[in-house]
A and B are shown apart, each in its own frame.
Chain A
Amino acid sequence: MTLLTKDEAFALLKKVLAYSKAEECEVNLSGTNSSNIRYARNAVSTSGSISQYQLVVQSAYGKKSGVATINEFDDVSLEKVVRRSEELAQLAPENPEYVSILGPQTYAEPKTFVPATAAITPKMRADLVAESLQVAKDAKAIAAGFLEDNNGFSAMMNSKGLFAYNTSTDTKFSVTVRTEDGKGSGYAIRGYNDITKFNAKEATRIATEKAVKSAAAKGIEPGKYTVILESAAAAVLMERIFFGLDARQADEGRSFLSKAGGGTKLGEKLVDERVNVYSDPLNTDLPTSTWNGDGRPQERVTWIEKGVIKNLSYSRYWAEKKGVKAVPGPDAAIMEGGTKTLEELIAGTKKGILVTKLWYIRDVDPQTLLLTGLTRDGTFYIENGKIQYPIKNFRFNESPIIMLNNLEELGKVERTVSTESNQNYLLPPMKIRDFTFSSLSDAV
C-alpha cells in the first residue's frame, strides 16, 4: 500500500472537514504497512503482512464529543462518517474534562522516515533471517528470533486550522540463541528507523556468544551485589520512571513523585546528580514524531537534570486546571552517560554481577516504584575486573529510584529497545551498588 503524501493527506482532510456542521471537528488519518517474520528451532515458524488505513472523526458540541471512523474514502463514506460522529456527540454525556481543540501549531520537520526501511521485501526479510540462522548453526546452537518492520503516515486537521503530517519507519529485531543441551542462553535486541543500520549477523553473534558463555552456570547466594546493567537491562527499569512522570498522579498524591503533606517532588533532587534525562524528537540517533496524538508539538524537554525532577507531563485538561504549560509525555527518552565501554566498566569492578537482560518486570509497590523481575539469557560473576563464570538467574526486588541513588558509574550511551514495552531509548550501561537480589531461579 502506498502512503499518502502530505498534499494528498491535506486535500482529503480538507474535504472531510467541509462536511462538518459541529462546533468543533478534528480528523485523524493514518495508514500503516506492517510485516514480520518469526523463527524458532532454527527454522521459520510464522510470517505475515498487513496494511490498514483509518480515518477518525471527532465532533464536539460544547463539552459533548463523539468519535466515528471509516476505512472507505469515497465522498458518500466521508460525509457519512462526519454525520455519525455528530450524532454520537449529541447523544454523549457531557465530559467536564473536555478541552477545546488546539489552533494552528508549528512543528519541526520530523526525521522518522527512511525509504530503505519502507522498501523491505519478503525476500529481504527471509535473507536476514537466513544470515541469523547461519551464525547459530555454525556454533551448533539453536536460534529463535523475530524481525518486524513498519512504515506508515499519520495526519490530522481540525476546524480551528491545525494541520500535522508525519511519515515514519521502524524495524525491530530480537534473537535468543540457546545451546543444544539447553544449559546456555543468550539474547540480543535491536531497533532502528533505518534498516541499513541493522546487522543480523552481528546481533546473532553476540547472542550466540552469551549462550555459549552462560552454559553450566553456578548458583551463588542471593543478596545485595554491585551490578553492571547492560543498556537493555537498564531500559526496562528506567522506563518505569519515564512512564510515571504524569503530573496529575503526582498532584493527587498517588505517585512516587508525590510528597508527604501534599504537593509533588518537582524541583527536588530525587536521584544521583549524574542522572540527566531528556527527550528530543529531532535527535538523529532516536528520531520520533514532532507532534503527539492531540496535536501538541513534541519538543526537547529536560525531565531530570543533575538528579533533580525538572518537568512533569500534563494532559491539556490538567495543565489548564493548574495554569501551566501542557507538556506532553515523551515518545522516547535519552539518558546521558559517560565515556567508558561496557568492557571498561567490567575492568574497573572488583566484585560484581553483569546483568545482560531483565525479564517479567512488574510493579510491587507504586509508592516507592518497587519492581520485581528476573535476570535472563546470560548473567555473569565479575571479580578483579574480569568475568569469572556464568551464574544462575536471580529474582530482584528493587526500585529504580533507589538504584539511581546507588549509582557508581555510567557507561557510553547506545540505542536500545525495552524488551517489556518495545520502546526505543538512548541509554548507557550502568554500574549500581547494593542491587537487591531476593532469590535464585533455575531457569535458563
Chain B
Amino acid sequence: MKRRDFLYLTGMGATAAMIPGIPVIGRPIDPERMLESVDPALKKQMADVALNAARSQGATYTDVRIGRYLNQFVVTREDKVQNIVNTESYGMGIRVIANGGWGFAATDKLDNDSIAQAAKLAVSIAKENSRLLTEPVQLAPQKGYGEVSWKAPIEKNAFEVPIKEKADLLLGVNAAAMKSGANYITSLLFLVNEQKYFASTDGSYIDQDIHRIWPAFFITTIDQASGKFETRNSLSTPIGMGYEYLNARPQDKIQSVTSLYKGRYDMLEDAKAAGAQAGEKLKAKSVEPGKYDLILDPSHLWLTIHESVGHPSELDRVLGYEANFAGTSFLTLDKWQSKNFNFGSKLVNIVADKTQVGSLGAVGYDDEGVRCGQWDIIKDGVLVNYQAIRDQAHILGLNASQGCCYADNWSSVQFQRMPNVSLQPGKEKKSPDDLIKGVEKGIFIVGDGSFSIDQQRYNFQFGGQLFYEIKNGKIVGMLRDVAYQSNTQEFWNSCVGIADANDYRLGGSFFDGKGQPSQSSAVSHGSSTARFNGVNVINTSRKI
C-alpha cells in the first residue's frame, strides 16, 4: 500500500511521520468479526476448485493459499485517542508451475468461477513466461501431510480485549510519560492475526492461526530555547504472543540503567522512564568520536544481527534473485563450500529457527507446506549454512526445503524469507554487569535506532535509543549523538564476550522488507548482551 493511502486510512496525518512506516494491508471491518474464522472444510472445498482448475489447464504443480489477515491498530497521542482501525484482508493466491516456470494470480472473489478464472490466469502467465527461462523450476520433494493444523500457543487473544481497555492503557502510558517530562507522545497497539490455509497438489491441507502483538510509543522532548529536541522510543518488541505480553511480572524485568524486559513488557514503567530519559538526552555529553568497546543490549543487538547476519545468509540474495532490489550477499557459495570461512570469533554461534515459541517467525508449516525446524548458520564462527526454500534446496545439496517460504498476504507470491536468526548465549556464566566490568573505554547501547547497511552487507551504521559511557568498568553517564560503523566480518570477529542464557531476550520487527513488489515479513532475533571491541564510533551532531 502506498504511503498516501496509509495516511488516509489511519487518519494519523503528521503523527505517522513519527512512526516507522507501518503498512496497512486490508480493509476496515467490525471488531467483532475479528473473532470469527472460516470453517476449514469450506477452505478445503475452495482450494480443491483451484487445484483442479489449474491441473486441467496444464499445471504440473499448484499450491493455494487462502488467507484472512486481521489487523487492529489503536493509536493515541498525548490525551486523545486518535484512531482505532480494524482491517481484514481475505482472498486466495494461486501459484502454479506450467511449462517448467512459475505463474501466480490472486483473487478476493471466492466463488467457484472467480477461483477457476484466477487459476487459469496463473497458468497462462506461467506459460507465457516459460520462454524466458534458462532452466525449469526444480522443487525439492515434499510429502503431503493430509489435513493438519497449527495454532500459536498464546494465552490471551488480544483481539478479545475490549478496545476501551486498550485505549485506557495507552492514555495511561501517555500521561505517565508527560508527567515525567515528555512534551509529545504517540503510542499504539498493533495486533495481527493471520488465519492461513495452505493446500497443494502434494496432498497437504494445512490450517494455521498466528498471532502477533506490538505495543510501542514514541516520545519527543523539546528544549524550546535552543530549538533542540530528542526522542526516546519504547523498549518493547513486536512479538508472537497474545495480550499476555503486556502483563509483566517481576521475573520478566532486568534492572539495568533502565528497566529491560524479558518475554513480557511493562509499558507504563517504560514510558515513565522514557519521559525522563528524553530530557536527560538533551543535556547529555556529545560523544567524542573514536574507537570504543561496545556493550550491546539485546534490545539493540537484534537489529545488527538482522541486518548483518540474517540478510547475507538468505540464499536468494546469495544467488542473485534480489540483485535488483535488496541486493546480493558477501556470503558467496565458495565461502560456504570452503567450510572454513571465518565469519566471526569462536564465540559466535548463530541459529535459524522457525519453531521458537513466542517468536515472530514461528509457524508449524511455511507457505509452501514444509514443516518448520531449526539449523545452524554460523557454528563456532564459521559459515555452515543458509536459508532456503523448495526451489533452492538442490543448490545446497539438500533433499528437503528448510521451510523459509512466506508471503505477506494472499495477494502476494510467496518467496524465501528470513526465519528467526539468533545469536546463541555464551556458555560461561556471565552477566551484562560482568561484561561492563572489563571495559576501560566503552559505550553501553540500549534500544534500536537508525540503521543502514550496504547491498552486500559489509558496511553498516547503527544508532540506538540510550547510550551510556563506560570508563574503567563503570557506567559514568549518558552520551548522545552516537552511531557506530563497522564491517560485518570485522565486527563479528571483535565479539569477545556474550552473557549467558539468563540474559537471553528476543527483539524483532514487523517490517522486514524484501522483494518486488515489496513484501513485509515479521521476524525475531534473540541474543544475550554481548561485547565487541574497538568499534568505530562517529558523532552525528550537525548544524543547519
Are B125 and A360 neighbours in the complex by a CB distance under 8 Å? no
Q: How far is the CA of A399 from the CA of B28 in the complex (A)?
A: 38
How many residues on chain A are close to B (CB under 8 Å)?
A: 104
Tell me if B142 counts as interface (CB < 8 A to partner A): no
Within 8 Å by CB of A40, from B106, B121, B129, B321, lies: B321
28 A–B contacts from the bound complex (CB under 8 Å): A40-B320, A44-B101, A44-B132, A46-B415, A48-B105, A48-B125, A49-B105, A95-B83, A122-B124, A122-B129, A126-B128, A133-B132, A142-B320, A144-B321, A148-B516, A244-B17, A252-B184, A254-B220, A260-B227, A261-B227, A262-B224, A315-B14, A372-B452, A374-B452, A374-B454, A395-B454, A399-B544, A439-B485
Q: List residues 354-413 of chain B with CB under 8 A from any CB of chain A.
A: 411, 413
Listed in ascending order, the chain B residues whose CB lies under 8 Å from chain A are 2-5, 7-8, 13-14, 17, 27-30, 80-85, 101-109, 121-122, 124-126, 128-129, 131-135, 164, 167, 183-184, 220, 222, 224-229, 231, 319-325, 327-328, 330, 332, 411, 413, 415, 450-459, 461, 463, 481, 483, 485, 487, 516-517, 536, 538, 540-544
- Chain B minimum-CB-distance residue to A359: B455
Assuming the A-B contacts A258-B227, A360-B452, A402-B542, are A49 and B82 also in contact, with contact meaning beta carbons closer than 8 angstroms in the complex?
no
Q: How far is the CA of A295 from the CA of B208 in the complex (A)?
A: 40
Closest approach, in angstroms, between the C-beta of A329 and any C-beta of chain B? 8
Q: How far is the CA of A51 from the CA of B114 in the complex (A)?
A: 11
**Residues of B contacting A144 in the complex (Cβ-Cβ under 8 angstroms):** 320-324
Q: How far is the CA of A142 from the CA of B320 in the complex (A)?
A: 9
Q: How far is the CA of A87 from the CA of B28 in the complex (A)?
A: 13
Tell me if A256 counts as interface (CB < 8 A to partner B): yes
Are A249 and B540 neighbours in the complex by a CB distance under 8 Å? no
Q: How far is the CA of A142 from the CA of B327 in the complex (A)?
A: 14
Assuming the A-B contacts A372-B461, A421-B3, are A129 and B538 also in contact, with contact meaning beta carbons closer than 8 angstroms in the complex?
no
**Residues of A contacting B14 in the complex (Cβ-Cβ under 8 angstroms):** 246, 248-249, 315, 318
Other A-B pairs, 5, CB within 8 Å; known A37-B129, A270-B544, A364-B483? A41-B134, A84-B30, A144-B321, A252-B184, A293-B4
Are A47 and B129 neighbours in the complex by a CB distance under 8 Å? yes
**A176-207 interface mask toward B, CB cutoff 8 Å, 1 = contact, 0 = none?**
10100010010100000000000000000000
**Residues of A contacting B129 in the complex (Cβ-Cβ under 8 angstroms):** 37, 44, 47, 122, 126
Tell me if A280 counts as interface (CB < 8 A to partner B): no
Are B454 and A47 neighbours in the complex by a CB distance under 8 Å? no
Assuming the A-B contacts A142-B320, A148-B517, A443-B330, are A363 and B450 also in contact, with contact meaning beta carbons closer than 8 angstroms in the complex?
yes
Mark the stretch among A5-13, A64-72, A106-114 that contacts chain B: A64-72
Are B324 and A145 neighbours in the complex by a CB distance under 8 Å? yes
Closest approach, in angstroms, between the C-beta of A215 and any C-beta of chain B? 15
**A283-299 interface mask toward B, CB cutoff 8 Å, 1 = contact, 0 = none?**
00000000011100000
- Chain B minimum-CB-distance residue to A123: B128
Tell me if A440 counts as interface (CB < 8 A to partner B): yes
Within 8 Å by CB of A97, from B82, B121, B487, lies: B82
Are B134 and A43 neighbours in the complex by a CB distance under 8 Å? yes
Are B323 and A438 neighbours in the complex by a CB distance under 8 Å? no
Tell me if A378 counts as interface (CB < 8 A to partner B): no
Q: List residues 383-440 of chain A with CB under 8 A from any CB of chain B.
A: 393, 395, 397, 399, 401-402, 421-422, 438-440
- Chain B minimum-CB-distance residue to A54: B27
Are A253 and B227 neighbours in the complex by a CB distance under 8 Å? yes
**A88-99 interface mask toward B, CB cutoff 8 Å, 1 = contact, 0 = none?**
100011011100
Q: How far is the CA of A126 from the CA of B99 in the complex (A)?
A: 15
Closest approach, in angstroms, between the C-beta of A362 and any C-beta of chain B? 5
Are B323 and A176 neighbours in the complex by a CB distance under 8 Å? yes
Within 8 Å by CB of A373, from B327, B415, B452, B541, lies: B452
Interface centre among A54, A146, A249, A364 (most CB of B within 10 A): A364
Within 8 Å by CB of A41, from B167, B320, B485, lies: B320
Tell me if A45 counts as interface (CB < 8 A to partner B): yes
